[in-house]
Chain A
Amino acid sequence: MDDIDAMFSDLLGEMDLLTQSLGQETVPPASLPSTNDNVNLSTSYTDLNASLNELEDTDLDALMADLMADLNESEEKLAAQIEDLKGPSPPPSDLPPPPPKGPSIRPASSLPSPTSPASSTSSNVSTSSAASPLPPPPPQATKPTKEEIEAQMKADKIKLALEKLKEAKVKKLVVKVLMNDGSAKTLMVDERQTVREVLDNMFEKTHCDCNVDWSLCETNPELQLERAFEDHENLVEPLLAWTRDSENQVLFQERGEKYEVFKNPQNFYLWKKDKRALKEIKDKDKELLIQENFCGTSIIVPDLEGVMHLKEDGKKSWKTRLFQLRASGIYYVPKGKTKSSRDLVCFVQFDNLNVYYGKDFKNKYKAPTDFCFFLKHPQIQKESQYIKYLCCDDAWAMNLWVTGIRIAKYGASLYENYKTAEKKAAVSSVWTNRSTPSSSNPSTPSPTIKAKSPNQANGHAQEPQPRPVSTDFGHVPPPPPPLADFLPPPPPDPFRPPPPPPLAVKSSLKPALPHRHLPTNFPPPPPAMDNLPPPPLPPKDDAPPDFLPPPPPAAGFGSLFPPPPPLNSLPLPPPPVSFRGVDQSLPPPPLDAGFLPPPQPMFTGAGAPPPPPPPPPPAAAPKPALRPSGSVKKMPPVPPKRTTPSMHGGGDGDFMSELALAMNKKRGLH
């Protein structure tokens, strides 16, 4: 046993080093220009320096500034944590209700703590808590035996080690995103981030109106293509397919066609009808169409049929064919055959293909019209016989086909994405509306406002916190209430928004953040929860936000959230469960944040498990597991951006030095 333990602590130590060198975990803040660079140590061929060299000096400076800011913050935090270390540990044991901790983290931390300070503040805390004999957690009825605890701790250690290993493999890219006005923002994107998360990030950076049309698009000048990434896709993966010398770009722009099918479903599902009639269609009928086609047991693809011009197999000529779209692929009617299903010949299926808009193909390929789209494997970056080009008679037909193909390929995800985007848009508009009043009148019950204003139109409660909801429709309803509860912690009355406006803002931010962690992080096994004392381990990520505004020390927690106990005590409706978990996890964060290079990672986040006493674990747990869709940052402009994002200071060291090196080199060259 001891050997194993020793081994693990070694392993953990190493891992920490590794993670540190990787650094920069996350996401939010950093945005810089750049091409795609693969920061990942292990995998990518691209080397960071090279990519950095390609950056404009100004971009570099900006990136640097961003990163430095993060670093500083994290250092401060770290310092704060260190101070706290001694102090805070005892409290956790005393406080029964406090934040449930990710069990796994604690034990793990206990081991490595000496070796790797970076590992996590929480670890330290946890150690202490572990030491305290009886964890006071109310929820757990059964007391784990010592063996169980040990076993659990060991399991947790293993898990932590593995997490770190995995973390070490996470790829990150510095992505330069071009704006409409020709300027550019640069972001650090990690391979686990979805396009939705990156978009949210961009919203924060740009103060745009956050409407659902905002998209990230890829362009490839060589193929003259354009494609808006779908919100659920991971951004890094397609970017990795770009060639080293590619002039591809990522654009941030509004694209009306992205969700047009949900705004005007009749244009897609009733396209055969007279166009004027389609314009006059009632909202009620639109809803019905969406209901019929996207909310049933099966997603229904518009039944498109039409003649298109095809160029394939690397040939130069265009030939016409009668095509049909079905859920299983695109088919064509062979010459001399009927249109009956059994005679159709499969043209493509969508498993390995994406659909792209082609630009100016009339010139390039002598296409009959400029309304072209094509299908190719995402990795193909140059002209190839494996690309299938299709040309429609008009823009209307082209949009029909491209959208139809997207529905067939992505199915329910598309609608989920739309709902998420819509919520996002609603929330942000709320925020903008609300920012004035809140400042002037602190007492305004922010929660209420939110609840009412935003998307009513759509019929859902808009949750103030956009993100939690993001994917899981089921989630939606529950979130709002919790928020409400959450905000006004001090007063017994849940609906009263006592907290001063600024606070409110922050708090709202936090919940969101944690939430995302929640899902991502391990859903701790119930037993684990029992074992663990309830020491407050803050999810690292969360920590920063809370943390920043207030003084770093633990105090922050207290001052900010005096109400935590009340929170618990409040009779919360069941749905909030997951939320609660969040809340609790929030308070403790201050310490940890600094330390770990908090990879957003799923694993590290301590907060996730909903240990909160009241909630029945099962309910809460499953959901997160289903969908980690977290959005990284969610909140709108209000919050101080800088602060939020940077949480990972610790790990940055190596990265920073690399960056500095690169800058020097580059400057040297000039």
Chain B
Amino acid sequence: MAAWDLSVTVEDLGSDAPPVTLSVASDLHVGGVILKLVEKTQIQRDWSDHAIWWEQKQRWLLRTAWTLEKYGIHADARLVFMPQHKPLKLGLPNGTTLRLQACFSSSVFQTVMGVCRMLNIRHPEELSLLRPVEEKKKKKDKDSSEEIYDLTEVPLSSASRPCLYNGMPAHFADSPQMEAVYKMLSVTQPPPAPEFIAKQYRAASVVDKAHINGRWLDSSRCLMQQGIQENDRVWLRFKYFSFYDIDPKYDVVRLAQLYEQARWAILLEDIDCTEEEMMLFGALQYHISKVTQSEPQMLSSSAAMDDLESALQSLEVKMEGESSSASEMLENMTAPDLNDYLKIFRPKKLTLKGYKQYWFKFQDTSISYFKSKEESIGEPIQQINLKGCEVAPDVNVTAQKFLIRLLIPAPEGMNELYLRCENEQQYAQWMAGCRLASKGKTLADSSFQNEIQSIRSFLAMQKTSSGSHGNSPTNDEGINTHSLVSPRYHKKYKAKQLTPRILDAYQNVAQLSLTDAVMRFLQIWQALPDFGLSYVVVRFKGSRKDEVLGIAPNRLIRIDLAVGDVVKTWRYNNMKQWNVNWDIRQVAIEFEGNINIAFACVTADCKIVHEFIGGYIFMSTRSRAKGDELNEKLFHKLTGGHEAL
């Protein structure tokens, strides 16, 4: 067979070096080409990760047994010999950037699996990569010093589950730097400065949100094929909002990143919520950041420790059970005394009486008041049971106004009542007492001191935020409440107006542990009506206007773009089949009952829509019975399109 010259660019020789020219025959297989190439470069190194990339055809020549003829390669082919794994900058849900070795030659699905394995995130099928939104170039020079966590030294392992050391994958235990990276991954970030939130790109409309979904990479093709180059930036995000089998014990990183993604979705109004919900999200963020600061960060739960841990846990449970009998009851008998002179005021129609001072005494869940301290031994003027009442603050620190507003239920309705305290200290105690009592707890409850603390720290917030406008959060006491809500509320409320509202919501979550608080945050997020919807602008067959298709974990919805109303809902479980006509780029779906829909995609490739639908169907096939094994084949079958066939 005739020999001809084949030129191959070897990346490792530098970009200026001329291509290496080999004399080959068409029946030479790719492995032979590589062998010749390596010999010719005369460089001694490990070439095992290298492979040949065919530029014109945008494909890797990974089958080394195939001949050049079989690949259809001729002398005019531009081939590049380079490593399959290259550094990639990965933007994480928490806003940080990692640099790590990613695979550029396998499907994005597998690349994500590899990345997740390295980061210790289970269920990589729920995540994917997308091209980042272009940052505004204006301040680029200023921000270019962005910190990048470097993980490029970490070799990619092929073990399906990394072995754990000290609760983290072994490669994170190598050095303090690596440990710091793991901490960044597994611990939630402090609340961002309000200016930072304001600077972020926010999708202003459904159409904007739809555009973001056009950025998802194709799971069945590799990074090189999608124009991603070495050291490019991509985002790693949860794509399918169907989170399977979350276990706080094994999902430290997964949960932290999921929380971050949810938090940013709320802060940037990617998902709409009401004001009340926003305040609750704010309160949870506040609580989470507070607990994170006070708790030892690294939860060491190495495999070896697991047993011990579970033993300890069960011990704890027992002790708790115990405490409900012994220690708690002991406490009940030793409830702290709380009594003082306070002023009381009952707003009633047609009365202009002001505040009157009495001697108040807290007992169990009731407060009683007497004419004076001396008379407190006798019958109180009145005893008020606070159980089930509503407690609201009416406080202005600068004006030294400390009012507790109580709405006390009675058979006839609610009685309104104000208690006036003299100072912060007094207010914090009585407020804490009232809050506990309203929930049926007494002062003896272990949370009493915590409650006082949190009320005081909120008072402190009010002080600092009223003193200096919109300061970024510095000390732990002074979290700016603007850091906890979306920019809309920065405009609507001053920080000190937000404080009491967030505090109000906070009282319901203040007792949660870190994990519980994160889980609660996620639950409330998942309970939002628009949760899990990924939007795409489409044009339905026979329709002349653009409409929005919302893709949810269990259904598709059709939204009228002009009004924003949901026009129609189709559930996947009624779906008989869906097809993509790749030539005219149209998705056609058939549902039970002879319902057929077809649409062309405007803001995203139809492959992306196809992948979303197939992906969600794949997600719903996961079950415990099948174990942890990821059925990659099925995924590709459902999402791959014609390439998979």
Q: List residues of chain A with CB under 8 Å of any chain B CB.
A: 155, 158-159, 162-163, 165-166, 241, 243, 270, 272, 277, 285, 288, 292, 296-301, 303, 326-329, 331, 338-342, 344, 346, 349, 351-352, 377-382, 384-387, 522-526, 602-603, 617-619, 621-622, 624-626
The residues of B with any CB-CB pair to A shorter than 8 Å are 243, 246, 269, 272-277, 280, 310-311, 313-315, 317-322, 324-326, 329-330, 333, 388, 390, 409-414, 488, 508, 519, 522-530, 554, 564-565, 569, 571, 573-574, 593
Q: B276 CB to closest chain A CB, in angstroms?
A: 5
CB distance from A256 to the nearest CB of B (A): 26
CA gap between A331 and B274 in the complex, in Å? 9
Whether the Cβ atoms of B409 and A379 lie closer than 8 Å is yes
Check if A618 sits within 8 Å of B413, measured CB to CB: no
Task: Report yes or no: A618 in contact with B274, Cβ–Cβ below 8 A.
Answer: no
Take A162-B326, A349-B276, A380-B410 as given contacts and tell me if A625 and B318 are in contact as well, using a CB distance cutoff of 8 Å. yes
A292 to B572, CA, bound (A): 12
- In the complex, what residues of B have CB within 8 A of residue A326's CB? 274, 277, 527-529
Could you tell me if A297 and B526 are in contact, using CB atoms closer than 8 angstroms?
A: yes
Cβ contact within 8 Å between A328 and B277? yes
Among B246, B317, B411, B519, the one with the most A-chain Cβ atoms within 10 Å of its Cβ is B411
Of A163, A288, A299, A526, the residue contacting B315 (CB under 8 A) is A526
CB distance from A662 to the nearest CB of B (A): 26
Is B409's CB under 8 angstroms from A327's CB? Answer: no
* Chain A residue nearest in CB terms to B328: A162
The answer to whether A525 touches B322, judged by C-beta atoms less than 8 angstroms apart, is yes
Between A and B, 8 residue pairs with Cβ closer than 8 Å are A285-B573, A297-B523, A328-B276, A342-B272, A379-B388, A379-B410, A380-B412, A626-B317
Which residues of A sit under 8 angstroms from B329, Cβ to Cβ? 159, 162-163, 165-166
With a cutoff of 8 Å between Cβ atoms, the chain B residues found around residue A339 in the complex are: 564-565
Enumerate chain B residues within 8 angstroms of A626, measured Cβ to Cβ.
317
Closest to B438 in A: A352
A299 to B523, CA, bound (A): 8
* B interface secondary structure, majority: helix
**Shortest distance in angstroms between A44's beta carbon and chain B's nearest beta carbon?**
12
C-alpha spacing A331/B278, complex, angstroms: 14
Q: Which residue of B lies closest to A328 (CB)?
A: B277
Contact A386 B413 (CB under 8 A): yes
A525 to chain B, nearest CB (A): 6
A380: contacting residue among B315, B320, B411, CB under 8 A: B411
B314 with A617: CB separation less than 8 A? yes
Residues in B whose Cβ lies below 8 Å from that of A299: 523, 527
A55 CB → nearest B CB, Å: 23
Are A338 and B564 interface neighbours, CB within 8 A?
Answer: yes
Q: How far is the CB of A254 from chain B (nearest CB, A)?
A: 30
* Given A346-B275, A351-B508, 4 more pairs with CB closer than 8 A: A342-B275, A522-B325, A621-B317, A625-B320
Q: How far apart are the CA atoms of A19 and B261 in the complex, in Å?
A: 56
Q: How far is the CA of A155 from the CA of B326 in the complex (A)?
A: 8
The 8 Å CB contact of A384, one of B246, B412, B554, is B412
Contacts A292-B554, A328-B524 given; indicate if A379 touches B277 (C-beta within 8 A). Answer: no
Partner of A341, one of B243, B317, B526, B529: B529
**Which of chain A's residues have a CB closer than 8 A to the CB of B322?**
159, 522-525
Report Cα–Cα, A417/B577, bound state, in Å. Answer: 38
Q: What B residues does A303 contact at CB under 8 A? A: 529
Q: Which of B274, B321, B326 contacts A328 (CB 8 A)?
A: B274
Query: Are B526 and A619 within 8 A (Cβ)?
Result: no
Distance from B445 Cβ to chain A, minimum over Cβ atoms (Å): 15
Q: Would you call B321 and A624 a contact (CB within 8 A)?
A: yes
Q: Roughly how many angstroms separate A328 CA and B593 CA in the complex, as a whole number?
A: 36
* Closest B residue, CB atoms, query A603: B325
Separation of A526 and B316 alpha carbons in the complex (Å): 11
Q: How far is the CB of A300 from chain B (nearest CB, A)?
A: 6
In the complex, what residues of A have CB within 8 A of residue B310's CB?
618
> Are A159 and B325 closer than 8 Å at their CB atoms?
yes
A residues near B569, Cβ cutoff 8 Å? 272
> Bound state CA distance, A340 and B311, in angstroms?
49
Closest-CB distance, A460 to chain B (whole angstroms)? 15
Docked-complex contact A622 and B388, CB < 8 angstroms: no
9 closest Cβ pairs, A-B complex: A384-B413, A618-B314, A341-B272, A381-B411, A379-B409, A327-B527, A162-B329, A298-B526, A298-B523
* CB < 8 Å neighbour of B526 from A277, A296, A379, A624: A296
Whether A297 lies near B414 (C-beta < 8 A) is no
> B326, A377: Cβ atoms under 8 Å?
no
Also in contact, A346 and B246, with CB within 8 A (given A299-B527, A602-B325): no
Shortest beta-carbon distance, A401 to chain B, in Å?
Answer: 16
Whole-angstrom CA separation of A379 from B407 in the bound complex = 12
Selected from A329, A349, A382, A603, the residue in CB contact (under 8 A) with B413 is A382
A606 to chain B, nearest CB (A): 13
**Whole-angstrom distance from the CB of A32 to the nearest CB of chain B?**
25
Residues of B within 8 A of A298 (CB): 522-527
Chain A residues closer than 8 Å to B565, beta-carbon distance:
339
Quote the shortest CB–CB distance from A104 to chain B (angstroms): 8
Interface centre among B274, B322, B524 (most CB of A within 10 A): B274
Q: Within 8 Å CB of A296, what residues of B?
A: 526
Given contacts A158-B326, A327-B527, A341-B273, contact A621 B318 (CB under 8 A): yes
For B319, list chain A residues within 8 Å (CB).
525
**Which of A158, A277, A300, A624 has a CB less than 8 Å from the CB of B527?**
A300
Inter-chain contact A159/B411, CB cutoff 8 Å:
no
Chain B neighbourhood of A386, CB < 8 A: 413-414
**In the complex where A327-B524, A340-B564, A625-B320 touch, is A379 in contact with B325 (Cβ < 8 A)?**
no
The distance in angstroms between the C-alpha atoms of A351 and B507, with both chains bound, is 12
Asked if A352 and B388 make an inter-chain contact with CB atoms under 8 angstroms apart, the answer reads yes
A520–chain B nearest beta-carbon distance, Å: 9
Contact with B321, one of A155, A270, A349, A522 (Cβ below 8 angstroms): A522
Give the residue of A159, A297, A344, A524 whose beta carbon is less than 8 angstroms from that of B274. A344
Bound-state CA distance A346–B504 (Å) is 15
Residues from chain A with Cβ under 8 Å of B317 in the complex: 523, 621-622, 625-626
Q: Which residues of A contact B527 (CB under 8 A)?
A: 298-301, 326-328
List chain A residues, Cβ under 8 A from B488: 342
CA of A387 to CA of B522, assembled, Å = 33
B246 x A341 contact (CB < 8 A): no
B412 interface neighbour in A270, A382, A619, Cβ under 8 Å: A382
